[in-house]
């Protein structure tokens, strides 16, 4: 009989659609982004960061980069602590993405210094030789519009001061983008790094095989900042035979959080020792 | 019996425009597939991968997909209701608005005006155009059905009406946003809520745009092409209602392992598996309708397109639910596997069925015989091979990528850096781009055949006339 009554049919179809909709889409609002979900250390975006976020959206970065770390071993090792719901309460829209043509960016903040990001956005292959990311040098040419950004902050209801807005004068979209990237994932305290403790003995001193492996690892992981011959750049010059093996190992393994030296714990201790050998005992000067 | 004055002009116009937007979608797709292997092909700021990819998906789904559904719905509704369209003027207005919307969408996306939400990137002024377009379309279809001269509503009409309501609900809820300026708005929802609403929309856009309408087309054009009716009316009823009921629970399978509540993910996973039943209900109904007619696979190019189409639908609706299982999702989500899956549905299932329907209609609408059946067969093989090259290369790529992402050394550290996994993708991306070029060649053969049919096909014998 419903096959002969279009109005009844439309009503029934709407009802059928609404059941699943209400259970899986409407009801979760009762749990998500409530007080129980909140994390005290997560703060709204500043005007500069929000401007950067809007550039990220405009350029469609989310088409290649995700922003959620899953609670899976490989995800956490590669990107950091897994993502919590409370970290995203100020994200309108969310930017979790669905592809990782490039790496996940949920924990990017503080991983590299600002200069790394600027240079990478201007010419990605100068930092990462075989990268297929487009170059975004034009962001340097686009000044921010403080009045417009004030309007955005009002619509979002985020706190700001007139001084924040005035500080946007003379800043470019590149500055905003870098500020946004540096904010990503910093809302929760960094998990204590798997710090290396105890006496460290270099398992293979100056062994030629490990030197060669170290050379390759250096080109992949260090050269972008320290120069292809360790002559320095974004990071300092690396003089051979000027470190204690154990100290150098710890620096590479743990990173130096305050000055932008990332941790390379994810490489595993064998590779970090190979890097230590190469950096400390290479003969090219 | 005298034939009512059906409006075929509007069907013709929508077919022409949808094919045009379809070519744009495939061309842009080929371009961005080359951009992935050769980043110098990105021309910032307007022609970067990040801005072109939404143009590719929107032109494909809204230009080619919905555009041809407009055409086919208008054809089917008149025939199935034995009554002319309720309003020719409104349909004409809709054609203009449709093209204006697609053009505005293309221009605004290239200018960087985007909400960032997948398959719902269009900013609020364009959203309003889409809503008006859909209301105008729905009113015209529903009023035509109300004034029908055939008491029983055929299966195709059910799927059409479900799509009309479904798209309306999905689009309106997901479009909730607060404007800042003419082309910038912020989502009304935040973070995890926004993600859950978006993928409730995203997955059900697949249901209401890329499943229900092509099923309506399949259920109409398969019997029309073979000359024998659908195998079982009862299977159609069960498959229809369970599909419409179950689809809406499954959106969160796009969000497995994310901060979305676990129980929402689990429900999505369970309903995704259950969806195999209604999906395969239609697949079997199609296959069983071929009882005693399988010889037509050799003789009738329309049947070839339709049966391959429904076969890819069957494969798609097995692969989809398997991806919705937590453990498998942990492995292949975010990898190249996913575009492989999506394109089997888009290039295999939906487009194959659309090609068949258009081949069926164009000779009737222009009152001529098809210019060349060998060319139609060439078209069939080119799009089939192009799509298989695309999907199979991406599945293999995705498996390798996933394996490398998850590989651990014996000391518990990661075996590969991200870049070591990325460079392994280059050969697959080349193969995929070549698959796209083959598919594009097939589409161009299709268009050439249609143009020659309309311009210089043999005048039809009465038998072909609608």
Name B40's bridge partners.
none
Q: How far off is chain A from B151, nearest CA to CA, in Å?
A: 6
Q: Using CB atoms, which residue from B112, B197, B251 is nearest to A58?
A: B112
pLDDT band at B426 (very low <50, low <70, confident <90, very high): very high
Distances (CA, A) of B328 to B320, B324, B402: 11, 7, 10
Angle at A61 between CA A79 and CA B180, to 5 degrees: 120
Q: Which residues of B touch A54 (CB under 8 A)?
A: 184
Q: Which two tokens stand for residue B450?
A: 């249609």
Name A143's bridge partners.
A172
Q: How far apart are CA B29 and CA B61, in angstroms?
A: 12
Q: Which two tokens stand for residue B369?
A: 């015989």
Residue B449 domain flag: no
Q: Could you write out the three-class secondary structure of B412-433? A: CCECCCHHHHHHCCHHHHHHHH
Q: How far off is chain A from B442, nearest CA to CA, in Å?
A: 28
pLDDT tops 90 at residue B419 = yes
DSSP A156: H
Position A180 scores a pLDDT of 98
Position A263 scores a pLDDT of 86
pLDDT band at B465 (very low <50, low <70, confident <90, very high): very low
CB A83 within 8 A of CB A69: yes
Position B66 scores a pLDDT of 98
Q: Which two tokens stand for residue A192?
A: 């204590």
CB B278 within 8 A of CB B212: no
Position B4 scores a pLDDT of 85
Position B447 scores a pLDDT of 98
Q: Do A20 and B334 touch (CB under 8 A)?
A: no
Nearest residue of A to residue B153 by CA position? Answer: A3
Q: Per-residue pLDDT averaged across B177-186, rounded? A: 97
Q: Using CB atoms, which residue from B178, B192, B200 is nearest to A25?
A: B200
Reported as a single tens digit per residue, the pLDDT across B384-394 is 999 999 999 99
Q: How far off is chain A from B292, nearest CA to CA, in Å?
A: 29
Position A192 scores a pLDDT of 65
Q: How far apart are CA A15 and CA A23, in angstroms?
A: 13
Distances (CA, A) of B419 to A184, B425, B426: 21, 10, 11
Residue B240 domain flag: no
The contacts of residue B38 (CB under 8 Å, 6+ apart) are: A132
Q: Using CB atoms, which residue from A17, A99, A132 is nearest to B334?
A: A99
Q: What CATH number should be reported for the domain holding residue B107?
A: 1.20.210.10
Q: How far off is chain B from A246, nearest CA to CA, in Å?
A: 19
Q: What ipTM was assigned to the predicted interfaces of this complex?
A: 0.96
Reported as a single tens digit per residue, the pLDDT across B142-181 is 999 999 999 999 999 999 999 999 999 999 999 999 999 9
Position A256 scores a pLDDT of 86
Residue B243 domain flag: no
The number of distinct structural domains making up chain B is 1
Position A167 scores a pLDDT of 97
- A283 burial (CB, 10 Å; 0-12 / 13-18 / 19+) is exposed
Mutate to test the interface with B, among A10, A52, A63 (most CBs of B within 10 A): A63
CATH topology identical between A47-183 and A208-281: yes
Q: Which residues of A touch B420 (CB under 8 A)?
A: 220
Count of CB contacts below 8 A, A vs B?
A: 264
The contacts of residue B353 (CB under 8 Å, 6+ apart) are: B214, B217, B218, B221, B305, B306, B309, B310
Residue B66 domain flag: yes
The third-level CATH classification (topology) of the domain covering A208-281 is Cytochrome Bc1 Complex; Chain D, domain 2 (1.10.760)
pLDDT band at B466 (very low <50, low <70, confident <90, very high): very low
Q: Which residues of B touch A3 (CB under 8 A)?
A: 152-153, 158
Distances (CA, A) of A151 to A165, B180, B181: 10, 7, 9
Q: How far apart are CA B272 and CA B126, in angstroms?
A: 32
Mutate to test the interface with A, among B127, B177, B192 (most CBs of A within 10 A): B192
Residue B97 domain flag: yes
Nearest residue of A to residue B248 by CA position? Answer: A20
Q: How far apart are CA A155 and CA A179, in angstroms?
A: 20
Residue B415 domain flag: no
Position A195 scores a pLDDT of 67
Q: How far off is chain B from A280, nearest CA to CA, in Å?
A: 23
**What are the boundaries of each domain within chain A?**
47-183, 208-281
Q: Which two tokens stand for residue A237?
A: 């010059």
Residue B171 domain flag: yes
Position B461 scores a pLDDT of 65
Residue B368 domain flag: no
- B231 burial (CB, 10 Å; 0-12 / 13-18 / 19+) is middle
Domain that holds residue B1: 1-188
Q: How far apart are CA A86 and CA A188, in angstroms?
A: 10
Q: Which residues of A touch B245 (CB under 8 A)?
A: 16-17, 19-20
Q: How far apart are CA B439 and CA B403, in angstroms?
A: 29
Q: Per-residue pLDDT averaged across B444-463, rounded? A: 86
**CATH classification number, A47-183, choose in 2.40.128.20, 3.90.1150.10, 3.40.50.10420, 1.10.760.10:** 1.10.760.10
Q: Do A131 and B198 touch (CB under 8 A)?
A: no
Q: Do B39 and A89 touch (CB under 8 A)?
A: no
Q: What is the mean pLDDT of each run of 10 residues along chain A (285 residues)?
A: 93 97 97 92 98 98 98 96 97 98 96 94 93 98 98 98 97 98 93 68 80 90 90 91 89 84 86 91 74
Q: Do B112 and A59 touch (CB under 8 A)?
A: yes
Percent pLDDT > 70 in chain B is: 98
């Amino acid at each position: 009989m419903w096959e002969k009554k279009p109005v009844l049919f439309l009503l029934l179809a709407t009802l059928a659609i609404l059941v699943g909709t209400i259970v899986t889409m409407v009801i979760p609002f009762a749990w998500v982004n409530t007080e129980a979900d909140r994390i005290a250390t997560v703060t709204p975006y500043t005007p500069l960061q929000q401007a950067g976020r809007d550039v990220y959206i405009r350029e469609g970065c989310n088409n290649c980069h995700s922003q959620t770390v899953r609670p899976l071993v490989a995800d956490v090792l590669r990107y950091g602590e897994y993502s919590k719901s409370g970290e995203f309460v100020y994200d309108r829209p969310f930017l979790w993405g669905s592809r990782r043509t490039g790496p996940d960016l949920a924990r990017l903040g503080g991983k590299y210094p600002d200069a790394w990001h600027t240079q990478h956005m201007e010419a990605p292959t100068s930092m990462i030789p075989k990268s297929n990311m487009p170059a975004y040098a034009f962001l340097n040419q686009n000044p921010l519009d403080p009045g417009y950004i004030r309007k955005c902050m009002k619509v979002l209801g985020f706190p700001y001061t007139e001084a924040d807005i005035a500080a946007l004068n003379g800043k470019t979209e590149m500055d905003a983008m870098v500020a946004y990237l540096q904010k990503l994932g910093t809302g929760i305290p960094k998990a204590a790094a798997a710090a290396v403790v105890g006496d460290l003995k270099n398992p293979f001193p100056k062994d030629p095989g490990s030197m060669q492996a170290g050379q390759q690892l250096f080109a992949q992981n260090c050269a972008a900042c320290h120069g292809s011959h360790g002559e320095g750049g974004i990071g300092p010059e690396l003089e051979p035979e000027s470190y204690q093996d154990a100290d150098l190992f710890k620096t590479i393994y743990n990173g130096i959080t305050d000055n932008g030296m990332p941790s390379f714990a994810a490489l595993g201790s064998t590779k970090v020792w190979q890097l230590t050998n190469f950096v400390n005992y290479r003969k090219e000067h | 019996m005298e034939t009512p004055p059906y409006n075929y002009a509007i069907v013709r116009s929508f077919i022409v425009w949808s094919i045009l937007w379809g070519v744009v979608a495939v061309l842009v797709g080929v371009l961005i597939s080359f951009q992935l292997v050769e980043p110098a092909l990105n021309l910032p700021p307007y022609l970067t991968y990040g801005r072109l990819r939404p143009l590719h998906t929107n032109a494909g789904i809204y230009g080619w997909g919905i555009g041809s559904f407009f055409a086919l719905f208008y054809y089917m509704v008149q025939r199935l209701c034995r009554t002319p369209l309720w309003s020719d003027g409104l349909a004409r207005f809709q054609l203009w608005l449709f093209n204006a919307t697609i053009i505005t969408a293309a221009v605004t996306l290239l200018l960087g005006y985007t909400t960032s939400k997948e398959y719902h990137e269009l900013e609020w002024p364009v959203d309003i155009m889409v809503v008006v377009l859909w209301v105008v379309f729905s009113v015209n279809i529903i009023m035509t059905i109300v004034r029908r001269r055939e008491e029983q509503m055929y299966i195709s009409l059910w799927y059409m009406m479900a799509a009309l309501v479904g798209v309306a609900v999905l689009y309106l809820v997901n479009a909730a946003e607060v404007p800042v300026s003419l082309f910038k708005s912020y989502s009304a929802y935040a973070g995890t809520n926004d993600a859950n609403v978006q993928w409730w929309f995203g997955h059900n856009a697949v249901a209401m745009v890329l499943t229900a309408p092509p099923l309506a087309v399949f259920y109409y054009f398969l019997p029309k092409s073979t000359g024998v009716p659908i195998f079982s009316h009862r299977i159609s009823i069960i498959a229809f209602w369970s599909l419409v009921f179950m689809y809406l629970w499954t959106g969160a399978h796009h969000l497995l392992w994310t901060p979305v509540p676990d129980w929402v993910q689990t429900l999505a996973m369970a309903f995704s598996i259950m969806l195999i039943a209604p999906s395969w209900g239609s697949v079997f109904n199609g296959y069983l309708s071929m009882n005693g007619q399988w010889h037509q696979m050799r003789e009738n190019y329309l049947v070839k397109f339709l049966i391959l189409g429904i076969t890819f639908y069957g494969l798609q609706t097995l692969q989809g639910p398997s991806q919705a299982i937590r453990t498998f999702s942990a492995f292949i989500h975010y990898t190249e596997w996913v575009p492989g899956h999506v394109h089997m549905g888009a290039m295999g299932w939906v487009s194959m069925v659309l090609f068949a329907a258009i081949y069926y209609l164009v000779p009737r609408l222009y009152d001529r015989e098809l210019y060349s059946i060998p060319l139609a067969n060439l078209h069939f093989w080119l799009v089939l091979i192009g799509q298989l090259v695309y999907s199979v290369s991406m599945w293999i790529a995705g498996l390798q990528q996933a394996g490398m992402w998850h590989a651990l050394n014996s000391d518990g550290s990661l075996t590969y850096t991200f870049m070591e996994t990325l460079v392994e993708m280059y050969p697959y991306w080349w193969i995929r781009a070549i698959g796209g070029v083959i598919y594009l060649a097939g589409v161009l053969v299709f268009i050439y055949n249609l143009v020659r049919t309309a311009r210089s096909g043999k005048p039809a014998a009465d038998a072909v006339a609608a």
